[in-house]
């Protein structure tokens, strides 16, 4: 118990010097859509570490209104939390993401709703908040049908899809009889998690769709399904969120090596290079994950590799004041006051109000007396 408390306090310290506040509440924006000819409310959830870093994030778009988005966000936030740092072997189960909640897609206007998402919602999020990389589209029932239409369509910005109990599965079964559709999926590098249930209205056609998808040669297209026995139409979506997220992001989490600590920085950067190649997008290691990984190296007393890791962070994020602050404190702890002062002063030049760097400055001045 004592060890766990120490670890928790250290994680708290990391968040403190990052000026951390949990801003994970919903932000509500209103867009006047030229495609829908009306105002649309969008609910936006930012990652807890959004204000502590310059990271670009994955984007997850949830259809079905506020209640479904809030439910989805709660599960997502839990899985992306850094509580797993206590295990000292991985940083997150899934990456932190920006989550956007929209209303249900109108069945008589799917095409314009798709244009609304692609041409209005995503640009709004990226101009007002942060650029995004990997994009995941989520829907249930008729919104699940919308998700599949986007998957089978062309020129989509989305790479991942999660849908449950989709309507109109027979249409997509017919699409899979088209060799051009299959060929497009095979080279798409897209990922689909599809859920169905015996107790659902649409079970029979959903089951046929799953069987058809399992039979095709998938190439780079990744597919996983889950058929539940007791879930109803209304419970299947929440009950499969965890399974869906762990599948979609299964290649994202970095397992911290237990041996050869001197290779940690190299393995960390290589992990994201390999991920980028696999999904066809450039994914840069998140800034805040550098700090979490540095903490793990520090807890294992691998100070030299921790310094190398933080210097790599500075290469990727030149304005990362917290990397300089952490380097300054690290050099101070090993008695190298010259480098401690150099890095700490630079952190304060980037942000004179960095509390952690101000504390280190006081320690250095006291040591020099």
Whether 5 has a pLDDT exceeding 70, the answer reads no
Give the residue from 194, 193, 176 showing the smallest Cα distance to 185.
176
Where is average pLDDT lowest: 88-97, 311-320, 331-340, 351-360?
88-97
Residue written as token pair 């499969």: 240
Q: In degrees, to the nearest 5, what angle opens at C-alpha 101 toward C-alphas 142 and 287?
A: 130
Taking each helix axis as running N to C, give the angle between helix 321-333 and helix 287-299, from 0 to 180 degrees, rounded to the nearest 10.
Answer: 10
- Please give the pLDDT value at position 86: 54
109 or 261: whose pLDDT is higher? Answer: 109
49 or 112: whose pLDDT is higher? Answer: 112
Record the pTM: 0.89
- Please give the pLDDT value at position 364: 93
- Please give the pLDDT value at position 9: 37
Q: Buried b / exposed e across 176-208, counting CB within 10 Å, b at 16+?
A: beeeebbebbeebbbbbbbbbbeebebbebbbe
- Please give the pLDDT value at position 14: 44
The CATH class for the domain spanning 263-368 reads: mainly alpha
| pLDDT per residue as tens digits for the range 268-283 | 999 999 999 999 999 9
- Please give the pLDDT value at position 367: 87
Q: What value does the mean pLDDT take over residues 126-145?
A: 97
- Please give the pLDDT value at position 81: 84
Q: What value does the mean pLDDT take over residues 94-122?
A: 96
Whether 24 has a pLDDT exceeding 70, the answer reads no
Judging by DSSP bridges, how do beta strands 191-197 and 38-45 pair with one another? unpaired
**Sorting pLDDT into bands at 50, 70 and 90, what band is 13?**
very low
Whether 300 has a pLDDT exceeding 50, the answer reads yes
| pLDDT per residue as tens digits for the range 32-91 | 999 999 999 999 999 988 887 888 999 999 999 999 999 999 999 999 987 656 565 678
131 or 21: whose pLDDT is higher? Answer: 131
Cβ contact 196:169 at 8 Å: no
Cβ contact 166:206 at 8 Å: yes
Taking each helix axis as running N to C, give the angle between helix 355-368 and helix 337-350, from 0 to 180 degrees, rounded to the nearest 10.
Answer: 150
Give the residue from 94, 145, 113 showing the smallest Cα distance to 36.
113
Half-sphere exposure at residue 113, Cβ-oriented, CA atoms within 13 angstroms: 20
- Please give the pLDDT value at position 369: 77
| pLDDT per residue as tens digits for the range 214-258 | 999 999 999 999 999 999 999 999 999 999 999 999 999 898 888
- Please give the pLDDT value at position 320: 93
158 or 53: whose pLDDT is higher? Answer: 158
Whether 21 has a pLDDT exceeding 80, the answer reads no
Strand ordering across the sheet containing 57-63: 26-33, 38-45, 98-102, 57-63, 132-140, 160-164, 191-197, 222-228
Give me the residue spans of the domains in the chain.
Answer: 31-248, 263-368
- Please give the pLDDT value at position 113: 98
Q: Phi-psi category of 65—alpha, beta or left, where left has phi over 0 and alpha has psi -120 to 50?
A: left
The CATH class for the domain spanning 31-248 reads: alpha beta
């Amino acid at each position: 118990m004592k060890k766990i408390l120490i670890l928790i306090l250290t994680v708290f310290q990391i968040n403190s010097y990052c000026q951390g506040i949990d801003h994970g509440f919903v932000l509500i924006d209103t867009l006047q859509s030229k495609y829908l000819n009306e105002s649309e409310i969008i609910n936006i959830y930012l990652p807890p570490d959004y204000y502590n870093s310059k990271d670009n994030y994955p984007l997850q778009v949830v259809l079905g209104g506020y209640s479904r988005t809030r439910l989805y966000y709660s599960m997502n936030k839990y899985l992306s939390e850094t509580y797993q740092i206590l295990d000292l072997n991985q940083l997150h189960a899934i990456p932190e993401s920006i989550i956007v909640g929209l209303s249900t897609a109108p069945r008589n206007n799917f095409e314009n709703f798709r244009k609304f998402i692609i041409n209005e919602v995503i640009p709004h999020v990226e101009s007002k908040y942060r650029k995004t990389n990997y994009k995941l589209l989520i829907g249930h029932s008729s919104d699940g049908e919308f998700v599949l239409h986007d998957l089978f369509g062309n020129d989509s910005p989305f790479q991942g899809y999660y849908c449950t109990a989709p309507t109109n599965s027979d249409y997509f079964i017919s699409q899979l009889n088209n060799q051009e559709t299959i060929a497009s999926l095979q080279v798409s590098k897209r990922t689909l998690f599809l859920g169905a249930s015996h107790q659902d209205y649409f079970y029979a056609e959903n089951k046929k769709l799953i069987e058809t998808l399992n039979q095709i040669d998938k190439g780079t297209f990744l597919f996983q399904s889950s058929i539940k026995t007791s879930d109803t139409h209304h419970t299947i979506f929440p009950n499969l969120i965890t399974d869906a997220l762990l599948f979609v992001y299964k290649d994202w989490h970095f397992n911290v090596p237990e041996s050869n600590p001197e290779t940690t920085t190299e393995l960390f950067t290589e992990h994201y290079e390999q991920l980028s190649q696999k999904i066809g997008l450039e994914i840069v290691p998140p800034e805040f994950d550098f700090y979490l990984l540095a903490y793990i190296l520090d807890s294992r007393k691998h100070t030299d590799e921790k310094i190398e890791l933080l210097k790599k962070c500075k290469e990727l994020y030149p304005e990362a004041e917290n990397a300089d602050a952490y380097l300054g404190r690290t050099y101070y702890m090993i008695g190298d006051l010259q480098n401690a002062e150099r890095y700490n002063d630079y952190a304060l030049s980037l942000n004179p109000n960095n509390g952690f760097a101000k504390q280190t400055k006081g320690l250095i001045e006291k040591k020099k007396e």
